[in-house]
Structure 1
Amino acid sequence: MSSNTGGYFVPAPTAWPFYLTIGLFLLLGGVSNYLNGHGTSIFMWTGLVIALAFIWIWFRGIINESESGKYGEQVDMTYRWGMGWFIFSEVMFFGAFFGALFYARQLSLPWLGGTDVMTNAVLWPQFENAWPTNGPGSMGGDFGIIPPWGVPFLNTMLLLTSGVTLTFAHHGLRENKPRRNVILWMWATVALGCIFLFFQAEEYIVAYQHLNLTMESGIYGSTFFMLTGFHGMHVTLGTLMLLVITLRLMKGHFKPDSHFGFEGVAWYWHFVDVVWLGLFVFVYIL
């Protein structure tokens, strides 16, 4: 661990979280404005710039504190608990979306189709219980679906492989193997994450331009893009985190017995892998 084992390090007060909140508020408000058809919002780009700037400033300060030996065992344990609760909140986040998919497929469609109760006789007598659906009266229009054994299966292999390369890098760091090998495994992990995002972007282009599968394609389209889109955002964030960790390794950061920054990112990336497996099964295959 670090040299500070006599007490708990308390950082000086800072306004960075407040400024970051402003940036995220503008970013999310701008994205919402864009998705509702109001064009590219200046608030979205302004918020993105502010958020990235203060993430850089804030994280740089944390890295400097860590490398200067200010963090002891208590701080390390605090970070571990904090990361654990953060990943738990992410489990609940995706659990809500998987729950929405389950509710639509297993409850709403049978009710509307009259399989379990005679709801359809009152709401929409002609509705058929079938999945995927574009909604009662074909409100979502005709669309095609993404075959699971093409790009989705390839992306599954890419993410699973990235979990293996990251694990090799982690074991290499813990066992004090040559740092060059650890860095190469990390660059391989970053590359696999970027390739995944490239293929997902290609998949979205095909969906919109050739399959007429959009966020307006009924409940199937909305749940498809909600789940895969938010997962893509997490892969993007995870890839950036992996890139930062790789650059820190190249600067000589992290030691075999003190590298929670590395471990925290590894936890997050493995969580992203597990979520994708659920997506692949319940969104693409079933």
Structure 2
Amino acid sequence: MSAVNDSRGTPHYFVPPPSRHPALAALGLFLVALGASQWVNEQAWGRYAVLAGLLVVFSVLFQWFGDAIRENETGQYSRRIDASFRWSMGWFIFSEVMFFAAFFAALFWTRAHAVPNLGSPDNQLLWPGFEGVWPSDKAGATGSPAGTVAPFETMGPWPIPTLNTALLLSSGLTITLAHHALLGDRRAACVRWMWLTVALGVTFLGFQGYEYLHAYRELNLKLSSGVYGSTFYMLTGFHGFHVLLGTLMLTVITGRLMKGHFSRTHHFGFEGVAWYWHFVDVVWLGLYLVVYWL
């Protein structure tokens, strides 16, 4: 969604026609949420609802991106639209910051207040034998004095989380190099750096999938593994979902670069995705420290 130069024929402000995309996106997200809630409660149809919802969402994104690209390339976007895109992306990233801040705050509150309070003498009648220690990795401690949560092992920082940290930090460097190449009118170099960034994102997702498989099969670490399991998967899983979306956006931008879209002076579509990717990098650094080390 890069802006174009104000010129004759470019509207002062662009008002898009009525669109089906918001309604279909809402439907897809509803199916994902409904299916996920049923899937974790062992309803077989939940996984199919999640798959259907994801297909709807990705289909809407493909069509919506295409509409925005056509509007831009046909000269519908003026500098005023470019400014509105920048404000919109800024507020979107701010909302994402608040989203992850809520999860970090929940983890902090659990570890610093809820668990110690439940382990205090005042609460022994509520849960006899409860020990206010973190992490909750075994029956008889925070996990489950009554044995309702099966024993599990916690996830350490070696080796996959550390490798993933190196991958994301490297991807932040490669996308920055791609940006500088675009500013210097070196499109071929920009495309190469962008494909490398995409490859790093895909590799991150592959490692995270392997990490989850290892946690589930060998560590017995699941969403049902007490408060540790739920916070681990919520924080890292939502971040992985953001990496997936960021990788898709990077792929779209790279394809546009190969078609000759963007210039050294007008390329906010590229910049917006770069902002988002750097945000994903920063959030991971916080997760790496808080979830895997502390």
TM tier, shorter chain?
A: over 0.9
Matched residue, 1:26: 31
- Comparing 127-136 with 151-160, greater Cα deviation is found at 127-136
CA distance in 2, matches of 1:97, 1:48: 23
Match of residue 229 from structure 1: 237
What are the within-5 Å matches in structure 2 for residues 35-114 of structure 1?
A: 35-41=40-46, 42-114=48-120
Pick from 158, 163, 177: which aligns with 1:168? 177
Equivalent residue number for residue 241 of structure 1 = 249
2:13 match:
8
CA apart distance, 1:17: 1.4
1:186-216 alpha-carbon deviations (Å, 9 max, x no partner): 0000000000001101100110100111111
Q: Which residue of 2 aligns with 1:267?
A: 275
Shift of 1:40: 4.0
2:131 aligned residue:
128
How far has the Cα of 1:222 moved from its partner? 0.6
Q: Would the aligned equivalents of 1:4 and 1:70 in 2 still touch at CA under 8 Å? A: no
**Aligned equivalents of 2:34 and 2:124: distance in 1?**
40
58-67 vs 44-53, greater mean Cα deviation? 44-53
Preserved CA contact (<8 Å) 1:152 1:280: yes
Q: Which amino acid aligns with 2:127?
A: W
Q: 1: CA distance between counterparts of 2:181 and 2:269?
A: 15
Q: Which residue of 2 aligns with 1:140?
A: 149
Give the letter aligned to residue 107 of structure 2. Answer: L
**Which SS does the other structure have where 2:125 is aligned?**
helix
Q: Moved runs in structure 1, 4+ residues, more than 4 A?
A: none
Contact 1:3-1:70 at 8 Å conserved across structures: no
Distance in 1 between residues matched to 2:205 and 2:216, nearest whole Å: 17
Give the alignment's TM-score, normalised by structure 2.
0.92
| TM-score (ref. length: structure 1) | 0.94
- Which of 216, 221, 241 is the equivalent residue of 1:208? 216
1:159 equivalent in alignment to 2:159: no
Residue 180 of structure 1: how far off its partner (Å) = 0.8
**Does the CA-based 8 Å contact 1:139-1:218 persist in structure 2?**
no
1:272-283 to structure 2, matched below 5 A, reads 272-283=280-291
The count of residues paired between Structure 1 and Structure 2 equals: 282
Instruction: Give the CA deviation at 1:67.
Output: 1.4
User: For 1:49-87, what per-residue CA distance to the aligned partner results, in whole angstroms no more than 9, with x for missing partners?
Assistant: 222222211210100111122111110110111011111
Q: Distance in 1 between matches of 2:228 and 2:80?
A: 47
Note the aligned Cα RMSD (angstroms): 1.4
